[in-house]
Amino acid sequence: MDAIGRGRGLVACAWLVAAGCSERDAEGVDARTGLAPTELLVRASLDLRGVRPSADELDAVRDDPERVGELVAGFVDDPAFGERMKDVFAGAFRTRTDFYPPFDSLVDEEYEVDEQMALYAAIGEEPLELLAVIALNDRPLTELLRSPVTYVDPSLLPLWPLEEVEPEPSLRLPPGVVAARYVDGRPEAGVLGMNSLFWRHSSTVENANRGRANALSQALLCQSYLDRPIDFPSDLDLTDSESIRHAIATNAACQGCHSTLDPLASYLWGYVYPEAERPQPHYVVEQERAWQIHTDARPAYFGRPGERLVDLAEHVAEDERFVGCAVRRVYEGMLGRKARLEDEGALAVHREAFLSGGLTLQALVRSILEDPSYRGEAWSPRFGGEPAPVYEKVAPVGVLGRSLTHLTGYEMRFVGRSATSLDLALRSLAGGSDRGDTTNVSTGAVLVQRRLAEAGAIHAVTAVLEGRDGGGTLHAFLADRDLDAAPTRAQLVGLVRLVRSRARSSDDAEIEALAGVWDDVAALSGPHEAWIAVVTATLADPDHLLY
């Protein structure tokens, strides 16, 4: 395969050719009437499973379009549903960060870089694994705050004060995790009792957990204190601690936020270590009442008093804002855009479905699957408003990477982790971060797709030529082809159907363009490189970036 590089210039041309041939109306989709059944099938499969639908599923919908509702509703039973719900809520907790500096004090220098990066990843997944368990087992979302058990990668067991426990016999767990309990006396309060959350959102004694309290408000209530307008006193010296304390206690403008923020922050002193340079893995029970020394703000949740984290967890679980925040997050995650004022009526519809379904994510997702806006249709909810239909949306970087890996068997990795999950690799380039996914197509996202498409095509074709299984769904297709000969029009039709879930006729302009790509690259670099170019073109099509 030494000649592969000679064909890469034409590979870029192949992508442009394919992009020009990718038209929404090829499947009969009309923006006025919404997505075609197969389009809806693709969208729901990527949203709920992270991969494109199978050939059998596409055939079933093409033969009987009425079956699409039944099929997409069943996607919530797929094991991958938990992983996708983790993606939707990852931007809320923001624990999927590249590094966890507090962890460095727990490991010796003998750890290899890949091992350390794997441990960072394990820490970041802790609150999301509990969310996945809730999603997979159709449990109420309030278990996010009431669960006495955490679910972690086994690598954390010897490093944190954890004791593995036997999960319920019928409980479905995400792959590679075990059930465990903290054994250092901390309250059992779901995500509020997890190291990962408070290592990600650290605090100094001077800040008195206020940043942490705001992070919890953002994650669980969708409300940030930083969004409130603040009129600072002009004579306030922000460099003087005593001056700041006095203003917080006496100034009306400051009290507008701090009257609720400080009591909320007072629940979190068990995670503050004033005598240590870095946080430790143990919760410090004797620190729980340190608010008496530092702020004198008794723990309370918007006027409701409490003592420990279990009280805070109950207050949040009973708060209507917790329900509304969950509905908004899933709605925005599935529609691929921020909810606006005109979406309030739709949000109310899904809130009712969420409540009547026992606050389970499966009930909420099934409701949104029926949302006309999600299906690309205009509508007027009974509660008012006119939500904008979603004709196309940007693929989250995790979905883009996962779906291409599923097709080709190739996953780009950096220091032992998926490159699309790291800001220092591809995540930020594609527009994502620990704050969530982008809703806009950027040059960076296109470049990431192009690079993954080319690398995936090389991997898939090379694996067949070397007589090994490449690991993706493309392998069986390519293994049945003569890679020393030009593809037939029927084979190109099959390739587009498999890779892009599109039905094309053998005389379609796109099929003719792909055949021309093969001929041009083969003339320069040979048949193997020509197959790579054609596969790259289908993988780099905008269908994978916009769906």
Question: Quick one: which of 19, 78, 93, 26 has its CA closest to 47?
Answer: 78
| Start-end of H helices in 409-488 | 443-465, 474-479
The C-alpha atoms of residue 520 and residue 10 are separated, in whole angstroms, by: 8
- Run of H or E residues at 71: helix 68-74
Local confidence pLDDT in tens for the 547 residues of the chain: 333 333 334 444 444 444 444 444 444 445 457 999 999 999 999 999 999 999 999 999 999 999 999 999 999 999 999 999 999 999 999 999 999 987 777 776 678 889 999 999 999 999 999 999 999 999 999 999 999 999 999 999 999 999 999 999 999 999 999 999 999 999 999 999 999 999 999 998 989 999 999 999 999 999 999 887 666 666 666 666 676 666 666 666 666 687 999 999 999 999 998 776 667 899 999 999 999 999 999 999 999 999 999 999 999 999 999 999 999 999 999 999 999 999 999 999 999 999 999 999 999 999 999 999 999 999 999 999 999 999 999 999 999 999 999 999 999 999 999 999 999 999 999 999 999 998 888 999 999 999 999 999 999 999 999 999 999 999 999 999 999 999 999 999 999 999 999 999 999 999 999 999 999 999 999 999 999 999 999 999 999 999 9
HEC profile of 128-169: HHHHHHHHHCCCECCHHHHCCCEEECHHHCCCCCEEECCCCC
Residue with the two structure tokens 């705001």: 214
Backbone angles phi, psi at 426, to 5 degrees: -110, -15
Report pLDDT for 173: 97
Domain boundaries, the chain: 4-31+393-544, 79-200, 204-318, 320-390
The C-alpha atoms of residue 74 and residue 149 are separated, in whole angstroms, by: 28
Query: What does the buried/exposed string (b/e) look like for 95-109 if buried means 16 or more CB atoms within 10 Å of the residue's CB?
Result: bbbbebebbeeeeee
Compute the chain's Rg from CA coordinates.
26
> What does DSSP assign to residue 388?
P
**3-state class percentages of the chain: helix first, strand second, coil last, to nearest 5:** 55, 5, 40
First to last CA, the chain: 34
> What does DSSP assign to residue 418?
E
**Any residues with CB less than 8 A from the CB of 196 and at least 6 apart, and which?**
95, 100, 123, 124, 125, 126, 127
Question: Quick one: which of 368, 318, 376, 369 has its CA closest to 348?
Answer: 368
Report pLDDT for 256: 67
Measured over the CA atoms of residue 253, residue 254, residue 258 and residue 259, the dihedral's sign is negative
In contact, 470 and 409? CB cutoff 8 Å: yes
